[in-house]
Structure 1
Amino acid sequence: MKATAQENQFLVLIVDDELFTRLILRNFLEREGYQIVEAQNGREALTLFNQLHPDIVLLDAVMSDMDGFECCTQLQTLDSHKHTPVLMITGLEDQESVDRAFAVGAMDYVTKPIHWPVLRQRVKRLIQQSQLQQQLEAVNLELQRLATIDGLTQVANRRRFEEYSNQQWQQMKREQRPLSMIICDVDFFKLYNDTYGHRVGDRCLQEIAQVIKNIVKCPGYLVARYGGEEFAVILPNTDTQGATDVAEKICHAVRTLAIPHQNSQVSPYVTISAGFTTEIPQPDSDLEQMIAAADRALYQAKTAGRDRFQQNNFTTQK
């Protein structure tokens, strides 16, 4: 079984039904600095793979019960297999066997009797390729995340808002479920910037974004920076009452931050106005109409005195 892991030491799973073959592979690979775990058949290999997540699998093609081709096929179905290369070890050199090995997902193969320098290089290369692939995918995921995150507030950006709202609109249309949207605007934010400076204004936006994120935690909900001092919240599977509760909590939470705003015309602290709308998308309606409705509600909240929220054309008190 797996020994105590050492730094940068890779784990090799050897799968072969012949004890002698496993022994010589283990001795060779341990001298190369690898950790080794052994399986004597395909079923045991699948169990060990799920438990230990090896860095590479050396798999004998010809075994009783479950051969290497079937074992390799089943490995492909495991979520944890994504980056783990399979090196097939086979005494079969015919074209059909070689083609079959690659068809079931093997990354490479070596033939028996094993040429040890070849095995050394192929194991090393396959692990390096696997590591590089994982690093590239991690970098790509981070780039994708950065492309959809607002740099200042660390909530979703306008691009992500548009992408996600369209996805949810289409999904709610198919399922005939309610979709709610809230658009918020920090009250008298230009005066705040003029009074305290843009750096303090940036910190204010960061605090407000964080407090909205803390409220909007349900799976599927999204908080986005919609514009300069505007934020938007997308609430799939949420009816009018649910959206009302969220909007009320947002306005209350921003007040509770008690960020001083000496030139505000409604409060000695920073406040926020919000407008929201709820709709079950219909074939003859579109997302832009919904966004416009939420925007109108925001405008009405502002004209009604700010520091409040409003649904569509119907005033909802603080």
Structure 2
Amino acid sequence: MKTLSLPQQPPVILVVDDDKTMRRLLRRAMEQEGYQVVEASDGEECVTAYKSIQPHIVLLDAMMPVMDGFACARALQALPGGDRTPLLMITGLDDPQSVDRAFEVGATDYVTKPIHWPVLRQRVRRLIETASLFKQLEAANLELQRLASSDGLTLLANRRRFEEYFQQQWLQMAQEQLPLSLILGDIDFFKLYNDTYGHQAGDECLKAVAAVLTLAAKQQPDLVARYGGEEFAILLPNTNAESALQVAEEIRLEIAALKIVHEPSTVSQYITMSLGVASTIPESNLNPAALISLADKALYQAKNEGRDRVSFDP
């Protein structure tokens, strides 16, 4: 995992104040600290500028014409990423009601005028550092989630991810009364391939097969998973049996077209795959495992009938 670090590029500060002199003072103070500064003279300009530049922090005056700082803060909170961008409100208002209102609309911190410049510089620095570290932690957590749900070799979804997604799609398809299809595929005589060519060649074979499966499952909700050692699952939401059979046959042909030599195989001189297909319109009161059983039964039938073929269990 990467070490957390602060941004390499100078952070961008959006300064919002209707007083031109105050904006100039704030710009000068922030540029002396090495920051890039963009100015806006009211709340509407602030929202427009924010959408364009995505600043690291907003220094926002409370009392402005057109759209005051409180309304502007609410508008920023509603923008993508706005609730994670530090908002430092700068105002001459120091009564408890104004302070409470500032934090209620999303202010991260609050500084009163006349500005104590050393305090402002430290608060800006702290808010930028904290926000930067928080974003990096979010990215690290997302990466951990991805690793926990994917197969390290093929980069496909792992079995745990498949089972979670299968449950979700079963319920969704049941609610919408749409078909759900499942393909289980098994590389023929893969143990014999591993024993003959070695585990490194076996790993390369698995990755090549995974790439074919990924290309075959084209629709957005489709999921390809490594279900077991050399067994793969392709979940096809909103796909009927006829379309699922077409996908499975396309996979079978594309695997053969890889022409990965497998001399010990009794089926072909190249790697082949057997596939079982099952399809149903789910019902929320039925066990989703029934669909897996049907696909597994179809896969067994394909193997029993000579392998390198697609079988369907209605």
Residue identity opposite 2:231 in structure 1: E
Q: Find the aligned partners of 1:234 and 1:109 in 2 and give their Cα distance.
A: 52
- Equivalent residues of 1:50, 1:80 under 8 A apart: no
Q: Find the aligned partners of 1:214 and 1:245 in 2 and give their Cα distance.
A: 14
Q: Find the aligned partners of 2:80 and 2:232 in 1 and give their Cα distance.
A: 37
- Equivalent residues of 2:181, 2:237 under 8 A apart: yes
Q: Is 1:228–2:225 an aligned residue pair?
A: no
Q: Find the aligned partners of 1:140 and 1:287 in 2 and give their Cα distance.
A: 30
Q: Find the aligned partners of 1:283 and 1:91 in 2 and give their Cα distance.
A: 59
Partner of residue 173, structure 1? 174
Spell out, residue by residue over 1:122-175, the C-alpha distance to the aligned partner (whole angstroms, 9 max, x if none): 000000011001100000000000001101111110000101111100110111
Q: Find the aligned partners of 2:21 and 2:15 in 1 and give their Cα distance.
A: 12
Structure 2 stretches lacking a partner, 5+ long: 1-6
Q: How do 1:217-256 and structure 2 match up within 5 A?
A: 217-256=218-257
1:79 is paired with a residue whose SS is coil
Give, in angstroms, the shift of residue 263 of structure 1.
Answer: 0.9
Q: Find the aligned partners of 1:15 and 1:187 in 2 and give their Cα distance.
A: 66
1:277 is paired with a residue whose SS is strand
Residue identity opposite 2:251 in structure 1: I
Structure 1 stretches lacking a partner, 5+ long: 1-5, 314-318
Q: Find the aligned partners of 1:131 and 1:151 in 2 and give their Cα distance.
A: 29
- Equivalent residues of 1:193, 1:200 under 8 A apart: yes
Q: Is 1:202–2:208 an aligned residue pair?
A: no
Q: Find the aligned partners of 2:87 and 2:158 in 1 and give their Cα distance.
A: 41
Q: Find the aligned partners of 1:51 and 1:284 in 2 and give their Cα distance.
A: 49
Give, in angstroms, the shift of residue 29 of structure 1.
Answer: 1.1
Q: Find the aligned partners of 1:282 and 1:147 in 2 and give their Cα distance.
A: 29
Spell out, residue by residue over 1:279-303, the C-alpha distance to the aligned partner (whole angstroms, 9 max, x if none): 1112442210011010000001111
Residue identity opposite 2:133 in structure 1: L
Give, in angstroms, the shift of residue 278 of structure 1.
Answer: 0.9
2:175 is paired with a residue whose SS is helix
Q: 1:309 to 1:86 in 2, by over 3 A?
A: same
Spell out, residue by residue over 1:193-252, the C-alpha distance to the aligned partner (whole angstroms, 9 max, x if none): 111112211111111111111221210111000001000001011111210111011100
Partner of residue 182, structure 1? 183
- Equivalent residues of 1:85, 1:126 under 8 A apart: yes
Partner of residue 13, structure 2? 12
Q: How do 1:1-318 and structure 2 match up within 5 A?
A: 8-312=9-313
Residue identity opposite 2:68 in structure 1: D
Give, in angstroms, the shift of residue 82 of structure 1.
Answer: 4.1
Q: 1:214 to 1:82 in 2, by over 3 A?
A: farther
- Equivalent residues of 1:216, 1:222 under 8 A apart: yes
Q: Find the aligned partners of 2:94 and 2:246 in 1 and give their Cα distance.
A: 69
Q: Find the aligned partners of 1:161 and 1:216 in 2 and give their Cα distance.
A: 14
Give, in angstroms, the shift of residue 271 of structure 1.
Answer: 0.3
1:268 is paired with a residue whose SS is coil
1:231 is paired with a residue whose SS is strand
How high is the TM-score relative to the length of structure 2? 0.96
- Equivalent residues of 2:76, 2:83 under 8 A apart: no
Identity across the alignment (%): 56
Q: Find the aligned partners of 1:156 and 1:257 in 2 and give their Cα distance.
A: 22
